[in-house]
Chain A
Amino acid sequence: MRRLVAAAVAALALSACQDPAGVGLGLIDDDLSNPKAIQVPLADLDTLQNQVAAIGIASASAAAPQSRVLVGSVTDATFGDAQATAYIDFLQPTTIPSGTEASDVRSVWLELRRNYVYGDTTTALPVEIRPITDSWDADTDYPSDTTLAVGAVLTSGTVVVSDTLKRFDLPASWVAANAATLIGSDFATAFEGFALQTSSAFAPVPGAVFGFGTFSTTRSGLRVALSDDTLFFPLSEVFSSITSTPPPAPPASVLPVRATSRSSLRFVADVSGAPSTALARATFRIPLDTTYAHEGTFVRPLASSALLIGVREDSNGTETRSTLGALTLDDGDAVLGDARAFTAAIQQVLIGTASPFVRYEVVPIASLTTNAASLNILPVVRPLPGAADSARLILTVVGSDA
């Protein structure tokens, strides 16, 4: 009997193999709920003014990393004029040779790695270096056009697109006056850094805004030459104050969305007509007119990524914002790359366990991992009534209403 029981158990254990196929579909065709794709056209597309920006830290490991600062001035009738001033502070090296005195400081210069340009690439941009006289610290919630108090011009230079590592030598008088501070123990509180701004005499026609890398890996920083050594002061707090004006002549076919220029994209996607059923995927496809990226010598970098934010509103009108994913460029369109979080959110909306989003916002960003000040554009093609390739929400649903 034991052998019989053992044989039966073995037979049962081996019975798990299955080979299901489409046999019998003819008997259940009536019940088959084939998946289908539903397109929801986006409505009320418009730009939205952003009110805040961040003073970041020039370090990838910081809580608010900021990998680029901007300086310059540009006139752009299509996407709007912009002016940028860069504010940078420095970190004293942890080790300064013992016995170093102020008299050992021979010279000081600022080196910045240029890695960005927006505007006319033939521009020779005059840049002035001024000392910051305000006290400032990293802050994640800061008006984007904030300016800091600065002193008189210390030095100046001209930046062109061929510059990769731009050097600004500080005058001997400033070196002599600040040598003790540079090597002193109170550097962090006694020194507030520099502002980089265009000369007030500069008339941008059309001009350009240049960007400089801030991370120490770009070798941007302050160099202090001693008698027998050179100290490197990497950047610490950094901020780009950007002012912009709406474009006087925006193109009729494109929404002039531009990163960190106080504008993002906003729209409505009404899913109330979609069935209350299983959702395999929800994603956006927003056509872009990428011809605006290059117009002769005038360049406008495209935003390679953008955050998708859903906005809910409670009965009191209080808004709640949720980051639902990141849009990336795909064949000239902005599409939702990883749609799992967004799909899960819309699934809850479809089945009525969560309130719908009253609107969505798309905030262009330079990178999904670090913040980098930029004027990158998101040239969103305005939807045309009835056009199949207009900006749309695509729902892939399975089944009908429960």
Chain B
Amino acid sequence: MRIAAIAAALLLATGAHAQGQNNYGSIYSRYGVGERIEFGSSQAQMLGRAGVALRGGTYVTLTNPALWSDQTVTTFSASASLTTTRAEDATTDGTSVGTAGDLAGLHLGLPILPGRLGLTVSYQPFTRVNYRTAIRDSLDVDGDMEPYTLNQEGAGGLQQISGGLGLRIGRVVQVGASADVIFGNQELLQRTDFDAATYNETRQARATRLRGVTATLGATASLLDPFGEGDVLTFGGSVILPTSLDASRTVTLGESLDRDTLGTVTDGSVDLPLSVRAGLAYRSGARWLASFEGLYEPWSGFESTLPFAGYDPASSGAGDVLTDRVRFGGGVELTPAGRERRAGALRRTSYRLGGYAERGLSSPTGSNVMTYAVTGGFSLPSRLTGARVDLGFEAGTRGSTEGVLVRDTFLKGTLTLNFGERWFVRRRFN
């Protein structure tokens, strides 16, 4: 694995993350601890986010540790994404356009026993808060109408760092487990800016720091040659265990180093629900692959001692808008050349197409916030053995313009660099 390539991948990923620091996405990211983000692998993303049963050594699917036992070479991947979201509602004439860059995922995988026992360390966002809305209005101040702009902004989110092992037992069964550290900061900012220079811009922020540990368990079972020689049918499932995060909240005025803390720091806890996914993948020879997955997260059981948007512990459930998140997705992949290494680049490219439907974790008006998206992309071969460059896209809509709801139309592009190379192998001949 070339160090320069790894450096380029890290640079790309870090740049995307930095670029996204002040960019904006969906208004729905304000609810709970933010919009749930997942990154299984670049392959899974393009196949309708269905990766829980995807076997193979080139890609390491982060959502199911059982699959990590498939690693035969040391693998590394870095993925960056760029999402443009156009939002509209029934109450506003205009539209809001936000663009957010983000680091989608990083992983390093080591085959302890190639094809049988694999270790993986990974990073991926767990939630993301990145909304902004602004209103123009005027205030009567002592008889003078003073125009102002009131901005409501959300930033931050939770991150996930995982480390774990995947083990293949026999030829059929794989199991795996990882320990997951979840941490991050969510900041909701209200910024008010008067047109008149005699007024100060006000910034009141509510920052919530969260941290905790959970675990992910996964398993797969594969049927070899179920319909023909070389076919593999794999069933997979994984679960992120529910956990309680420690939380501390501060309300501040001002910005950066000049912030004043209002009141005292409030400590509390936030209970995240479990996340269950199950699916199957069918590989027909070396050319065709199909994958399907369902996901369930019971966010209606979300509990916290601190209030969040859409959840108030003092309301005894009245007015809470968090609901169970459900997603079904799937896709197909075609690699025309199969395993032919001498075929042309276009034939060695993998072509992927998929889609998913998801009920979001919030229902602000009682109506489901549905997301429908088409996914797809290409996996381009490289002159480097075991390296592939994946270009993915995801286009869809989220929500509706019914009542006060917002309809997002989003287009997401993802660039992922995947590397695989043998490490720690002593050469027999010079």
Contacts and interface: CB of A to CB of B under 8 A. Distances in A.
A129 to B, nearest CB: 49
A32 interface: yes
Interface stretch (A187-195, A339-347, A367-375): A339-347
Interface string B374-411: 00000010100001010100000000000111100000
B150 A23 contact: no
Given A5-B8, A27-B405, A20 B96 contact: yes
B341 to A, nearest CB: 18
Interface in B112-137: 131-137
Given A15-B23, A23-B89, A26-B89, A37 B139 contact: yes
B80 A12 contact: yes
A351 B152 contact: no
Interface residues of B, number: 72
Nearest to B362: A27
A4 interface: yes
Contacts, number: 192
Given A27-B364, A279-B200, A402-B251, A16 B405 contact: no
Contact of A278 (B136, B139, B141, B204): B204
Contacts of B348: none
A19 interface: yes
Interface in B162-214: 190, 192, 194, 198-204
Contacts of A13: 19
Given A20-B133, A399-B190, A402-B263, A281 B200 contact: yes
B92 interface: yes
A240 to B, nearest CB: 35
Contacts of B141: 37, 281, 394, 396
B142 interface: yes
B79 to A, nearest CB: 11
A34 interface: yes
B359 interface: no
B88 interface: yes
Interface string B242-262: 000000000101000000101
Contact of B134 (A22, A281, A338): A22
Given A8-B80, A31-B152, A21 B101 contact: no
A183 B123 CA distance: 89
B204 A23 contact: no
Nearest to A338: B198
Interface string A365-402: 00000000000000000000000000010101011001
Given A1-B382, A12-B101, A347-B253, A281 B199 contact: yes
B415 interface: yes
Interface string B22-56: 11100100100000000000000000000000000
A65 to B, nearest CB: 28
Contacts of A19: 95-98
B217 interface: no
A152 B356 CA distance: 106
Contacts of A279: 200, 202
B24 A18 contact: yes
A177 B309 CA distance: 91
Given A1-B389, A15-B82, A9 B203 contact: no
Given A16-B23, A280-B200, A23 B260 contact: no
A27 B406 contact: yes
A24 B260 contact: no
Interface in A7-46: 8-9, 11-13, 15-29, 31-37, 39
A276 interface: yes
Contact of B150 (A8, A32, A37, A283): A32
A18 B415 contact: no
B309 A17 contact: no
Nearest to A396: B141
B391 to A, nearest CB: 8
Contacts of B16: 12
Interface-centre pick from B19, B84, B133, B148 (highest chain A CB count, 10 A): B133
A278 to B, nearest CB: 4
Given A4-B389, A23-B96, A394-B142, 10 more contacts: A1-B387, A1-B389, A8-B415, A17-B97, A22-B134, A22-B136, A28-B27, A277-B253, A280-B202, A281-B199
The 4 closest A-B pairs by CB, nearest first: A26-B404, A402-B262, A278-B202, A24-B27
